[in-house]
Amino acid sequence: MTVVLFIIGVIVLVGCLIAIFFITKSENILSLAYKTQLCENDIDDKLKEKEDLELRVINIINRQIKLDIKIFEEVKNLKVDKLSNYDKDSLLSSSFVEINKIYSDNHELSDVKSFDGLIRDIEKIEVELMGLRTLYNKWASEFNNLYPKFPYKLICKFKKLTIKTLYDGKELRTNDEKELNIEI
């Protein structure tokens, strides 16, 4: 009888140690998933602000210069298309590059009072987005590094978490080049 109680005690002890192990590992990966989700929500909000400002700028450009540019049509259809944040970010960045080209080539746009302010507002949002993308990529990279390892993969499958997609951007390439000590 004491042998049976001893075996049951050992099994309970091992079970408790395994449970403690999984709980601590679970907190680590869930914390990273939560941090990436917070960043993703902030990025989504900033992209909506940037989209609204770019639409206003595009309307001013169309009124003043009457240009028909394909990327501007894509930006106008963003609300209908329901793109992911990654695709929306890429499209809005390409659109802003085009807006800057048009702005530098057409001096009559500087006469529009609100145009300069809108451009500055978009640039401020872009700086904030750069910081958010960098923070998101940091947390997502840590998450992605842990994901394939035991017991994290098991925890992720149970919680239905998947690998996070990283934002591609100029700040990523710059950071990678700095780490590799490559001079530009």
Contact predicate 49/127, CB 8 Å: no
Region label for 84, one of left (φ > 0), alpha (ψ between -120 and 50) or beta (otherwise)? beta
What tokens appear for 20 in the block? 């403690």
pLDDT for 82-122, tens place per residue? Answer: 788 888 888 898 889 988 888 888 777 767 778 888 889 99
pLDDT for 64-87, tens place per residue? Answer: 777 777 777 888 877 777 788 888
What tokens appear for 171 in the block? 């700040």
pLDDT for 144-160, tens place per residue? Answer: 999 998 888 888 898 89
- Looking at residue 67, its amino acid is L
Say how far apart CA 15 and CA 9 lie, in whole Å. Answer: 10
pTM of this structure:
0.76
pLDDT (0 to 100) of residue 169: 60
What tokens appear for 12 in the block? 């309970």
Helix (H) or strand (E) holding 82: none
**Which alpha helices (H) appear in the chain, and where do they start and end?**
2-64, 70-76, 78-81, 85-105, 113-146, 152-159, 170-179
Q: How far is CA 37 from CA 126, 152, 172, in A?
A: 19, 18, 19
